[in-house]
Amino acid sequence: MTAALSGSPAAVEAGPVTETGVVRKVAWRLMPLIMICYMFAFFDRINISFAKFQLQSDLGFSNVAYGLGASMFVVGYVIFEVPSNLFLYRVGARRWIARIMISWGIATALMIFIRSEWHFYALRFLIGAMEAGFAPGILYYLTLWFPASHRGRITSFMFVASAFSGIFGAPVAGLILGGLNGVGGLAGWQWLFLAGGLPCLVLGMLVLARLDDRIVDAKWLSEPEKALLSARIAHHNRDIGDHSLLGAIRQPGFLMIGLIYFLLQIGSYGLNFWGPDLIKTASGAQAAAVGFLTAIPYICGAISMVVIGRLSDASGERPKFVAGLAIAAALGFFGAGLFDKHIVPLMFALALLGAGIVASIPAFWTLPAKLVTGVGAAGGIALINTLGQFGGIVSPVMVGWVKDLTGSTTPALYGIGVLCLAAAGLALFAMPASLRRSDRAV
């Protein structure tokens, strides 16, 4: 990892108790497992895009049916997301996150049994319902352990795992689809869903063994370390109310950032679901080659996340970074639409798109904790994520409908680019003062 996680935990224990040292120790304890879990969560969302060609060929699904099935994941997710995060607040993150991982792993593995469009829709809905609350639950969990002045980098590390899903997941998916197709009587896409689901059962058990719900429960922290960390988090939260969910919704700017996230997610799902399709169409390459090329936008996104996380923490002016990344994503979408038949310029456009839209998500998630804490944060983060996930319903269906209607994804790509510009405009000019205020450590 980068500087925020540099140094060994043992070295931290040997030195004096400082905020940087304690944060580094907590990061080493929590973040590797959280990153691996999130990597599988993100892979669970995008593996359907890698399976698209084989799935449609084997089962005869149209682009609209594929887009609708992809969106059913989001339907299940948004219905159960807020209740899931409220349960997490009540029963503790450790047990609830473990439950989420085990149940979605089982549901993902069951995808090997789909034979019709209705099977496809039902299981995608079930996977979304089982995974509901995972990402916002983790985001809320991180606010309990890290002061605001470190959250840009910490949140970036979490979302770097999503880039890893693209960097490593895309080539691995290509190899599975090509190399295991027909092995054991299963198609390559069936092996892909098994590879995405079964490891989550093991990870769920590790969460139970490794995570603690609260700072006070952490036996691996000394009493002075617990006191310092709790005091720093309380200091950064001193001007933020401990609201109910309804109180959080009434906070100025709450629904505004929900709208921004909705627009960003339209862009994110546009890349996740249709990036491989664009590359396949422009290059005519086989599945393995498409997988390796698909990794490029996510590599750029991973680099951008780490760099922007550090710069964002240094300045504390979060909305400006969200806006800049959204503008980069918009330019990438415009370029992808313009060069959708030419693989080399298309890859440059997708690289810019990845650097913008992939990094915009962790940059965005530094904003909600500036508004609410407590149960308002648990439910509020989930609600914002729910509002954003509607973008995951709109984007795949919209692009699939446009492609079936026109034979090209270009008009939809231009439309998504315009929506990214709208997100940038809202972040720059419509944020309330509480969100524009710098949270840089003093």
Contact at 8 Å (CB) between 441 and 149? yes
In percent, the amount of the chain with pLDDT more than 70 equals 88
Residue 331 scores a pLDDT above 90? yes
- Residue 305 pLDDT class (50, 70, 90 cuts): confident
Residue 355 is given by DSSP the state I
Contact at 8 Å (CB) between 55 and 188? no
Q: Could you report the per-residue pLDDT of 162-202, keeping only the tens digit for each?
A: 777 767 777 788 888 888 888 888 888 899 999 889 999 99
Query: Hey, what are 266's tokens?
Result: 């339209």
Dist CA 157 CA 3 (whole Å): 11
Region of poorest pLDDT, from 4-13, 297-306, 331-340, 384-393: 4-13
CA distances from 343 to 177, 245, 301, 379, 404 (A): 22, 47, 19, 43, 22
Residue 89 scores a pLDDT above 70? yes
Average pLDDT of the chain, as a whole number: 83
Helices 199-210 and 19-50 meet at what angle, rounded to 10?
A: 160
Residue 125 scores a pLDDT above 80? yes
pLDDT at 4: 46
Nearest to 359, CA basis, from 259, 256, 267: 267
What is this structure's pTM?
Answer: 0.73
Residue 439 phi, psi (nearest 5): -110, 25
- Measured in whole angstroms, the distance separating CA 329 from the mean position of its chain's CA atoms is 16
Residue 133 scores a pLDDT above 80? yes
Query: Hey, what are 215's tokens?
Result: 């700072």
pLDDT at 244: 54
Q: Which residue has the tokens 């879990």?
A: 37
> What average pLDDT score do residues 350-373 get?
85
Contact at 8 Å (CB) between 56 and 114? no
Region of poorest pLDDT, from 252-256, 350-354, 433-437: 433-437
Question: DSSP for 140-177?
Answer: HHHHTTS-GGGHHHHHHHHHHHHHHHHHTHHHHHHHHH
3-state helix, strand, coil in the chain (%, to 5): 80, 0, 20
pLDDT at 356: 95
pLDDT at 441: 46
pLDDT at 440: 59
